[in-house]
Copies of this chain bind each other. A is one copy, B any other.
């Protein structure tokens, strides 16, 4: 296939990581980029051997730009997406889809109206170990699943300075919950289906910014199953998913050092299965055994952009469209509301806003 011409909007650290990943793909080609900051756009053009534009209009005016990747702060997603879609450009957007359900609904409306292809970057569901857990659950290999625990932490909150949008509760509500945890709300719905309600405690600890840095949430699913989600910005990197089944448990963990190197993230992850290797009527004569589970490797950041490019060429749907991405955002925002109001919050209450 002819590679999809891509422009990147918002040229911070993550845009540079993604541009590096996209260079490994034959399906897309980064043509140009735009940032309001001149130094950032010139550095980006130099580093990735592409053009850069002085305005979003200039990006959208280029006929060789077929799609945009929106990597701006959360509260700027909706505006950029509306303009790009109305200019006929397909849209990739970094997670979370938007800063609010009102913004997410604007995005959903413009995508439906214009018919452009859309994908939201919930890449974590594409990790090889997460895919494998989903297969094992669906095949009944671990019996009936009762609960799941998912955690995503890093040290970001220790370094944030006032002025960074991530430290602003209006732009990153929930702090690590919306910036990291939203990967896990997506994974949890990928594994167990829709969340019905959440109860959450968020705390501001050990940081210079105003935002919360520690978030712990209980999730109840429409299926009757339940889960815990920990999101933390003041501790070394952790990314884990534990699944408790009647026949076996699964423990997934990846080394966060390698998160942005998506070609080797899987190689730095491990999936273990715990089951009985010896069963007996007497509980004191039962033996548990942990075994490593092999799984086909993926490249979570490359795979999602390649699916996006293929959907553009074929006209098909993508795995993470506006509805799926809006649900993940809604779960995170419900948790923020639950913590503020000290009560369980229904996801429908957030989606209906």
List residues of A whose CB falls within 8 A of some B CB: 13, 17, 144, 146-147, 149, 151, 153-156, 158, 199-201, 203, 205-206, 213-214, 216-218, 220, 224-228, 230, 232, 234-238, 242, 244-249, 255-257, 260-261, 274-276, 283-284, 286-288, 342-344
CB <8 Å contact, A213 and B146: yes
CB <8 Å contact, B216 and A228: yes
CB <8 Å contact, A257 and B288: yes
CA distance A206 to B257 in the complex (A): 38
Contacting residue for A17 out of B199, B246, B284, CB 8 A? B284
Residues from chain B with Cβ under 8 Å of A245 in the complex: 235
A13, A217, A237 pick with most chain B CB within 10 angstroms: A237
Residues from chain B with Cβ under 8 Å of A200 in the complex: 218
A17, A203, A232, A283 pick with most chain B CB within 10 angstroms: A283
Question: How many monomers of this protein are in the complex?
Answer: 2
Given contacts A200-B218, A260-B283, 16 further A-B contacts (CB under 8 A): A17-B284, A147-B214, A154-B283, A199-B201, A201-B218, A203-B224, A216-B227, A216-B228, A234-B244, A236-B247, A236-B275, A236-B288, A238-B242, A257-B287, A257-B288, A260-B284
Residues from chain B with Cβ under 8 Å of A146 in the complex: 203, 205-206, 213-214, 232, 234-235
CA distance A327 to B249 in the complex (A): 31
**Nearest Cβ in chain B — how far from A188, in angstroms?**
13
Contacting residue for A218 out of B216, B224, B244, CB 8 A? B216
Residues from chain B with Cβ under 8 Å of A199 in the complex: 199, 201, 218
Q: Indicate whether A149 sits within 8 Å of B235 (C-beta atoms), given known contacts A199-B201, A344-B342.
A: no
CB <8 Å contact, B244 and A235: yes
Contacting residue for A147 out of B232, B342, B344, CB 8 A? B232
Residues from chain B with Cβ under 8 Å of A224 in the complex: 203, 205
Contacting residue for A238 out of B246, B247, B274, CB 8 A? B274
